[in-house]
Amino acid sequence: MRMLLSGNEATAHAARLARIEVFPVYPITPQAPMINSIVGFIDRGELKCAHKRMESDHSALAGAAGASLVGARAFTASNSQGLALMHELLFYTAGLRLPVVMAIINRALSAPHCRFPDHSDAIAQEATGWLQLYCENNQEVLDTVLQAFRIAEDERVLLPVMVNFEGYILGHTKEVVEVPEQEAVDAFLPAYSRAVVDVEHPAAINTATNGEIYMEYKYLQHRAMQGSLTVVKEVNAEFAERFGRDWGGAVELYRGEDARALLVAMGSAVSTARIAVDEMRAAGQPVGLLKVRSFRPFPADEIRSVAAGVRALAVIDRDIIYGVGGALHREVQWALAGDAVHKPVLSYIAGMGGRDISVADVKAIGQDVLAATEKGSVPMGAHWVGLKADLVGEAK
Amino acid sequence: MGEREELYRLPREELLSGGHQGISGYGGTIAVRQALKALGPNTVIVVPASAVATVGGLNTSTAWRIPFVHSLFECAPAMATGIRAALEIKGKTGVTLVSFAGDAGSADIGFQSLSGAAERDEDIIHVCYDDEAYLNTGGQAGGTTPAGAQTVNTPQGKPTGKKDLLSIIEAHGAGYVASASIAFPLDFIAKLRKAKERKGFRYLHILTPNPATWGFAADQTIHIARLAVDCGLWPLFEVEDGGRRVTYAPVRRVPVADYIRAQGRFRHLTGDQIAAMQAQVDASAGGGR
Ligand SMILES: Cc1ncc(C[n+]2csc(CCOP(=O)(O)OP(=O)(O)O)c2C)c(N)n1
């Protein structure tokens, strides 16, 4: 059925269709409408699920971890301050190999206080052991939440997954979304019931460890994260076959034919960049777009092979790692580090705290990167798109 | 039935088996042992970071014979909330679910999740085992450390008093709230059995003296625990649906000084200070607090 849905509502529909069983959650702007939608489904008997009104974001994830230990399908949603407060629980959930799925309606972090979107909240959790998928529109949000459960619960993975989409830009904006039928989703996503906590089979969960086994444990966790890349792709392919929508797996190359340079982006900037690339192509400028859908696991090999034919890349980051630059830029550079031919990788910080990333912005970046294919060298550091020079005391 | 006979009738089975690493005379594991006699094998226990969480085993070995979940420090009741929700949705009934936390894991860093679970009337039993310090990190003072007690980070004695967590949880409207002592195992076990039969949020707070941090010999734990009750500082009572009942009244209260003088952590207290404590206990005499 086609419906007009915000990203929050699309997520709620996905949660309903996934038949989530326990939903411990704590409100945070701009995620709260999703809670209301899911509670509405439960209230009207359209979803059999325990909504737990927790007393903090930290407790929300603790509750989800507890539910997952008993073999229930657990879901929660958060962002920014809430996600930061969950930090230690993120490691814990991943370390216990619990397939919890969490929607992150990306929002900038304080200070200064800001309720508008960027990716810095999730990027800051990159080392916690969660898979991180990023969406470009509300249809992808719905589809990716469904895929996330399949990926997380796969015996080869058993890791928690964050599904990211920017607050307001996607979270509050209505788009036409195809909402699949329950039977189709049931066939794609079977019920889950992997109980670790069970009085019939007592086990000790998270006993104290030391150097004797901790390292091997972590190795296995790392290996599972690396291996999850295959599962991300497989699940996307199966989804595409069943539902007719292909989101590219871990990465998607758009208009890569004869491209001399590539733009690289995640999240809603990808949909903006599609327009920019179309316009540039129409003007005869050979620029392609690389959409990174999976930030964790990071598809380094695919990026290297996709980039093999181009002379330069430009990475658009909606995040900042202070003193380093954009996280996606750092990863792309790392992915290309082993290449025999050195390629310039330009870096752009854009759209922080909800500032718009326009088609014109992306086209300007496209011009830069095409120019770099001629020069072969790039300016050091990141370029901050649309920075107000007078506000930072750099006005000429 | 006499006390001796009652003790004799307790299940023999040890659900926290021998081989755990609790040091001798440690009140925490004594409380666990007693609690499991009442709770039985159909129990899931969630223990946050604490001494009890770490003494149960190392690497792939464990002394726990029931499902044991070592939660993060501040969220045992929150994890238990999720566990209960999942048990219910999966149709698994008849499981007793306990979050068993130290005093920091209950009264300080753990207070937020404890308060949340109490307010939501979650179907869990929370046991706070109170050794009046942060044992796992070396015995620092916390919210339930009593006034005057010397600890590693209150070398002059703690200047402020003991947080009254029992009253705080009672004020949440919990259906069942009770104090307990490891020196009175039958009282503790009877309370837990009663709690087990009920639904909703239930709270028990048991005093668990610890030799090293309190400053007494390892074979004196039970004696010290008994003195705390007998001098009136740690009254044994229960509050069931708002109805308060003293469950043990000492025939003749012993002087507070007997309890204080038996512990190194109070060695610096003057006679006047102890007299003031005695006066406080006398003022609240008659049980309860
Ligand atoms: C978030 C966090 N902060 C600090 C610690 C360190 N820590 C572990 S146990 C503990 C004290 C526990 O005290 P209590 O709850 O009274 O239990 P006890 O060890 O005394 O039995 C502390 C401070 C931790 N594990 N996690």
**Domain CATH number, residue B197:** 3.40.50.970
Provide the domain count of chain B: 1
The minimal CB distance from A53 to the residues B62, B71, B120 is found for B120
Residue boundaries of the structural domains of chain A:
2-243, 251-392
φ, ψ of residue A185 in degrees (nearest 5): -70, -40
Q: Is there a domain that residue B166 lies in?
A: yes
Q: Is residue B128, in this structure, part of any structural domain at all?
A: yes
Check whether A380 has a pLDDT greater than 80.
no
Over residues A202-224, mean pLDDT? 96
**Pick among 1.10.3720.10, 3.90.320.10, 3.40.50.920, 3.65.10.10: CATH of A251-392:** 3.40.50.920
Q: What pLDDT does A298 receive?
A: 98
| Cα gap B77→A73, rounded to integer Å | 20
Question: Per-residue pLDDT for A376 more than 80?
Answer: no
Mean pLDDT calculated for residue range A266-275:
98
Ligand 1 atom with least separation from CA of A88: 1
Q: Coil, strand or helix: which one is B119? A: helix
Q: What are the DSSP E strand ranges found in chain A?
A: 2-5, 22-25, 50-53, 75-78, 101-106, 131-134, 161-166, 175-178, 204-205, 251-254, 261-265, 287-292, 294-296, 312-317, 345-349, 383-384
User: Is A135's pLDDT higher than 60?
Assistant: yes
Fold annotation for A2-243 = Rossmann fold (3.40.50)
What pLDDT does residue B286 have? 52
The confidence band for A374, taking pLDDT boundaries of 50, 70 and 90, is: confident
B59 at interface of A, judged by CB pairs closer than 8 A: yes
Mean pLDDT of A110-127: 98
Query: Per residue in B43-98, pLDDT tens?
Result: 999 999 999 999 998 999 999 999 999 999 999 999 999 999 999 999 999 999 99
Q: Which atom of ligand 1 is nearest to the CA of B28?
A: 21
Q: Is residue B5, in this structure, part of any structural domain at all?
A: no
Q: Is residue B275 part of a domain?
A: yes
Domain around B94: 11-286
Read off the pLDDT of each residue in A266-276 and give the average, rounded to a whole number.
Answer: 98
Q: Indicate the residue type of A229.
A: L
Is the residue at B1 inside a domain? Answer: no
pLDDT at B289 over 60: no
Q: Is residue B2 part of a domain?
A: no
Once rounded to an integer, what is the mean pLDDT over residues A59-88? 98
Calculate the average pLDDT of chain B. 96
Residues flanking ligand 1, CB < 6 Å: B 28, 49-52, 73, 102-105, 131, 133-137, 142
Question: What ipTM was estimated for this complex?
Answer: 0.97
A68 contact residues in B (CB cutoff 8 A)? 82, 86
Rounded to an integer, the average pLDDT of B173-187 is 98
* In-domain check, residue B260: yes
Rounded mean pLDDT, A71-96: 98
Type of residue at A241: E
Set of chain B residues whose Cβ sits within 8 Å of the Cβ of A203? 67-68
DSSP SS3 for B274 = helix
Does this chain's domain A2-243 share its CATH topology with A251-392?
yes
Assessment of whether the complete model's pTM goes beyond 0.95: yes
Give the residue, B189 or B288, on which the prediction is more confident: B189
Distance of CA A36 to the CA centre of its chain: 23
